[in-house]
Amino acid sequence: MKFCANLSFMFAEASSIWERYALAKDAGFKAVESGFPLGFSLEQVRNAKQSAGLQQIAINLKTGDTTKGEVGVTSVPGKEDEFKTNLNTTIEYAKALDAKKIHIMAGKVENPTPKHWETFEKNLLYAVDVLKGENIQGLIEPINQYSMPKYFLSDYGRAVDIIKRIDSPNLRLMLDIFHLQQIAGDITHNITKLLPYIGHVQIAQVPNRNEPDTPGEINYKYVLEHLAKSGYDEWVGLEYKAIGNTKDGLTWINNYGYSL
């Protein structure tokens, strides 16, 4: 099992993503993922990543300020040009970081209609065509309504249906077990069922989104073993908020029988 640090959640000891590359390296990580580094130039982020000598696995689509609820317009009719501009900007950052996966966030919608689903799928079709030429994989992720009310995509069945219709290796499912538990539960069977469509996995304890071994609903020692036995051998993103010092909280990795 290979673990990559999510720099948008971990290492909150540093105030910015670019400072967190060095902390991730110091903690022993070989790879990272992150949200879009809003407010930092391509050169700043690339230099931070290169200085740390880390591999960048994934990056989120540019969406605006996520702390203000700006989580994309992929499903919003009339915002297609904005989506395309943000996608092209993100691709430039992904190429500079040598990241091969982009999380295409769906956005928030107050009252979803068939037009929103049509817009979402059309934008994904456009993205897949562009990403194919760049050898980058797009990811869509159902997000639970407790953590992000009104997020457009909160249904694994609909996500898989779209992936099946588009039928491209450049569009896969991002499975965050944190969200899976709160949307559907039945983790064992859902991992098995969703595995053919998965492009990336993330983890965090439920409900407080802390380290996997903290008190909560999920037995991550079992879940990780099940993932491995099911054939998943790609990176697992640690998208959690450390209770204390991030590096000190990594003892669960050795306790579960893994290493960085």
Please state, in angstroms and rounded to a whole number, the distance separating the CA atoms of residues 50 and 2: 20
Whether residue 64 is predicted with pLDDT greater than 90 in this model: the reply is: no
Give the SS3 label for residue 108.
strand
pTM for the full predicted model: 0.97
What single DSSP character describes residue 114?
Answer: H
Domain annotation for the chain: domains and CATH numbers: 2-256 (3.20.20.150)
Backbone φ and ψ of 101, nearest 5°: -135, 135
pLDDT the model gives residue 69:
84
Closest CA to 59 of 39, 87, 29, 27: 87
Name the residues annotated as catalytic. 141, 239
**Tens of pLDDT, residues 122-152:** 999 999 999 999 999 999 999 999 999 999 9
Tokens for 36, please give them. Answer: 């879009």
Distance in angstroms (rounded) separating the CA atoms of residues 219 and 246: 20
